[in-house]
């Protein structure tokens, strides 16, 4: 080796050592730091399995936020917390959970500020902000504290214009998932259910805000009737503590610490350790339930594949080091068969170790089906759950074909060969057969709930009939054991596994997240094949016969 090559190699080694040292120094958390969290946009339970679209890649994970807040509470290097709140892409359940952890942080007596820096902060954003000791609002912004709105979409008018007939059926009257296609407005049962959910959500919202802001309940009810408010009005009514700009937050901590030393979530997560004397598994069950593998749908978003989740539950069951399993559910339901495949694995796991169900934004219909055999079920007060019912049917496209000048001809060997044919409604005999299958699924659903919840089938049917409940309502009805977030589910799992409450546990999460380089490659591939993905998704929807669905209706509360 020549002298020049030796010098080059020595120089390269020195550079590498220097770079590693510099990275370690950079990663070292400064003393008197302030944890700054961005709470806005999508907040998800897990990363998608397989290729990730841009929206999914940019989403923040809920457990990353809560883990950081909990660690910072007892971290002497963190002297305060600032949460920048932007429009939230999360349901009330996730918001409620995040808010609970912020309320716990307040007990540390460290300064904590929730900063509303958007043009308009709505009910959900303000509800989260009230978890902080101080709520700051930009002087030119508006605060959208108002009554809540429940909204459901109906496309029957569009289908009528396209000459498409939705030949859909449901069990029972509150099972309104098909109303999206069959109705133009609320039915009486749909309206009754929506009003009940709205009242329950409003109670959570108003009581939470009143308590956190030390406002009189009657006064707050009156103020909500007159919102939204200009910044100065929001200050005068004590909704916020200060009208200020971002740089003024810097000054608060400069005066306290001598310097503004912000630490981002991504950097602080390196300080969050997942270690403990005992191991628990967390199996994430997110999205529309289908048979096969989990993935991402261009139309449905997260897809919970029965094979994937069942395999994850099986791995956790067969691992003797795992003392208990937490099934984290965030799903509006889907295929009845896929739901039963997952429930079966919950049942098998429960025979060996505790399986605690922790519900997020929604765990209804199929989402409740996979939960009903758990050792213990917990939900947030605003979780949408229940929806014990069945939906099935098809769309008759004969009118659309005629409108477009298309025509078909056909031959059959039996009447039921046309069962899934999209050129006619179900015949009377086919309709009878379909309803028979639906009744069988509903009977299995109510029987499973009765066994899991130790209720009679008649009692389950009375609170079933497809009706959606909030977690608070479900607790009163016996569909869940407790209202509580993931932290409480973790405590329950430790109790059932006979692990001392003070013992720190290590969490193993399923599905396991791929290394960064694999995620990067899948991102590049998913972007390159975007058009192909859209085409294949349309083909899948067009050719696949309808499965019997245990699925939630379209319900949005904001």
Assess whether 175 carries a catalytic annotation: yes
Cα separation, 362 vs 185, in Å, equals 23
CA 90 to chain centre: 7
How many other C-beta atoms can be found within 10 angstroms of the C-beta atom of residue 28?
A: 11
Torsion angle defined by CA atoms of residues 419, 423, 427 and 431, in that order, rounded to the nearest 10 degrees = 50
Q: Is the CB of residue 558 less than 8 Å from the CB of residue 202? A: no
DSSP H helices in 188-270: 188-213, 217-226, 231-236, 246-257, 265-268
Assess whether 504 carries a catalytic annotation: no
Q: Is the CB of residue 304 less than 8 Å from the CB of residue 288? A: yes
**Options 150, 331, 358, 365, the catalytic residue:** 365
Report the chain's terminal Cα–Cα distance, integer Å. 71
Q: Find tokens 């944890």 and name the residue.
A: 35
Cα separation, 87 vs 522, in Å, equals 28
**Options 175, 394, 465, 494, the catalytic residue:** 175
DSSP collapsed to 3 states, 309-353: HHHHHHHHHHCCCEEEEEEEEEECEEEHHHHHHHHHHHHHHHCCC
Instruction: Please work out, in degrees rounded to the nearest 5, the angle formed at the alpha carbon of residue 140 by the alpha carbons of 136 and 142.
Output: 75
Exposure string (b/e) for 164-191, b if CB count within 10 Å is 16 or more? bbbbbbbbebbbbbbbbbbbeebeebbe
Residues near 476 by beta carbon (within 8 Å), at least 6 away in sequence: none
Q: Is the CB of residue 202 less than 8 Å from the CB of residue 225? A: no
Cα separation, 143 vs 102, in Å, equals 21
Catalytic residues: 175, 365
């Amino acid at each position: 080796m020549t002298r020049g090559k030796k010098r080059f190699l020595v120089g390269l080694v020195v550079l590498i050592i220097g770079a590693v040292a510099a990275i370690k120094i950079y990663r070292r958390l400064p003393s008197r730091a302030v944890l700054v969290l961005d709470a806005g946009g999508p907040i998800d339970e897990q990363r998608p399995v397989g290729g990730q679209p841009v929206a999914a890649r940019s989403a923040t994970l809920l457990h990353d936020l809560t883990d950081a807040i909990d660690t910072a509470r007892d971290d002497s290097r963190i002297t305060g917390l600032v949460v920048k709140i932007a429009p939230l892409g999360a349901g009330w359940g996730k918001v409620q959970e995040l808010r609970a952890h912020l309320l716990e942080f307040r007990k540390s007596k460290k300064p904590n500020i929730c900063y509303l820096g958007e043009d308009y902060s709505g009910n959900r954003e303000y509800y989260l902000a009230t978890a902080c000791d101080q709520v700051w609002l930009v002087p030119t912004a508006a605060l959208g504290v108002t009554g809540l709105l429940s909204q459901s979409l109906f496309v029957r008018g569009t289908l009528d214009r396209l000459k498409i007939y939705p030949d859909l059926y449901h069990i029972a009257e509150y099972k309104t998932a098909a109303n999206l296609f069959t109705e133009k407005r609320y039915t009486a049962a749909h309206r009754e259910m929506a009003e009940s959910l709205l009242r329950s959500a409003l109670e959570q919202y108003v009581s939470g805000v009143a308590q956190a802001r030390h406002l009189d309940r009657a006064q707050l009810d009156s103020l909500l009737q007159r919102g939204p408010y200009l910044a100065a009005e929001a200050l005068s009514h004590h909704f916020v503590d200060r009208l200020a700009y971002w740089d003024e937050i810097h000054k608060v901590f400069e005066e306290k610490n001598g310097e503004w030393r912000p630490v981002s979530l991504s950097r602080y997560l390196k300080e969050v350790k997942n270690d403990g004397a005992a191991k628990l598994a967390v199996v994430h069950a997110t999205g529309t339930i289908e048979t096969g593998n989990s993935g991402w749908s261009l139309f449905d978003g997260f897809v919970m594949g029965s094979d994937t989740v069942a395999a994850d539950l099986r791995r956790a069951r067969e691992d003797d080091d795992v003392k208990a399993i937490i099934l984290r559910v965030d799903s509006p339901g889907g295929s009845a068969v896929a739901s039963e495949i997952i429930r079966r694995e919950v049942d098998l796991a429960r025979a060996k170790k505790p399986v605690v169900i922790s519900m997020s934004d929604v765990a209804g219909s199929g989402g409740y089906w996979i939960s009903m055999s758990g050792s213990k079920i917990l939900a947030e007060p605003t979780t949408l759950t229940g929806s014990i019912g069945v939906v099935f049917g098809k769309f008759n496209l004969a009118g659309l074909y005629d409108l477009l000048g298309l025509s078909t001809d056909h031959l059959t060997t039996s009447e039921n060969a046309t069962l899934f044919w999209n050129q006619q409604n179900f015949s009377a005999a086919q309709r009878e057969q379909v309803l028979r299958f639906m009744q069988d699924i509903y009977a299995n659903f109510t029987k499973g709930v009765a066994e899991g919840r130790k209720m009679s089938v008649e009692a389950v049917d009375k609170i079933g009939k497809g009706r959606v409940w909030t977690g608070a309502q479900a607790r009163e009805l016996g569909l869940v054991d407790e209202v509580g977030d993931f932290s409480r589910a973790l405590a329950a799992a430790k109790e059932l596994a006979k692990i001392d409450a003070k013992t720190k546990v290590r969490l193993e999460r399923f599905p396991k997240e791929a290394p960064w380089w694999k995620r990067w490659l899948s991102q590049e591939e998913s972007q390159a094949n975007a058009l192909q993905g859209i085409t294949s998704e349309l083909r899948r929807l067009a050719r696949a016969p309808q499965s019997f669905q245990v699925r939630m209706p379209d319900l949005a509360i904001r």
